[in-house]
Amino acid sequence: MSDRTPGAQVRVDPRGPRFAAVLTTLVLVVALVTGSGWLLAAQAVVFALGAALGLRFSPYGWLYRRLVRPRLGPPQELEDERPPRFAQAVGFVFAAVGAVGYLSGATWLGVAAGALALAAAFLNAAFGYCLGCEMYLFLVRGRARLGQASR
């Protein structure tokens, strides 16, 4: 679910990204257990769609809206879509690097990058802690401080 008003940022149901993190965690576990670079590449595509087009255009966002959201009550609040989109971009980088590692024969790189992506997805799925979102907020605050310091 999202709310778009003219001139405003997209706001999303925070349960959607957490649902996506659960699916992502499952996909990444299977990719690491099987050593499948192709599965990791598919997850990279999912991340890329969410980062580039918005969470509602991600396959996991679509599943949430069609299968899960109708069975839930309305969200208590909506959140800004920008931090989770940034998290999707970070996830894309790690999944893409991992896929390249597996597919090029550098299995250690596939395992390392896939495991880092899994750790971040698991934190969100299990505890509601979005590491990529926190990175986004850290960068925004840092940019604001730099802007104030240059005045």
Q: What is the mean pLDDT of the chain?
A: 93
Q: How far is CA 48 from CA 55, 73, 107, 131, 142, in A?
A: 10, 29, 22, 17, 25
Measure the CA–CA gap between 65 and 1, rounded to whole angstroms. Answer: 6
Residue 33 has pLDDT above 80, yes or no: yes
**What mean pLDDT comes out for the span 114-133?**
98
Question: What value, to the nearest 5°, has the Cα angle with vertex 101 and ends 95 and 104?
Answer: 135
Confidence check: pLDDT of 4 > 80: no
Amino acid at 75: P
User: What pLDDT, on the 0 to 100 scale, is given for residue 102?
Assistant: 98
101 is written with which tokens? 């590692």
> What was the pLDDT predicted at 143?
86
**Residues 98, 100, 104, 106: is their CA dihedral positive or negative?**
negative
Residue 144 has a pLDDT of 84
Tokens of 105: 């024969």
Give residue 1's pLDDT. 52
Dump pLDDT digits (tens) for 51-99: 999 999 999 999 999 999 999 999 999 999 999 999 999 999 999 999 9
What is residue 102's three-state secondary structure?
Answer: helix
User: Is this model's pTM higher than 0.85 or not?
Assistant: yes
Could you tell me the end-to-end alpha-carbon distance of the chain, in angstroms, rounded to an integer?
A: 40
> Where does the pLDDT of residue 44 fall: very low under 50, low under 70, confident under 90, or very high at 90 and above?
very high
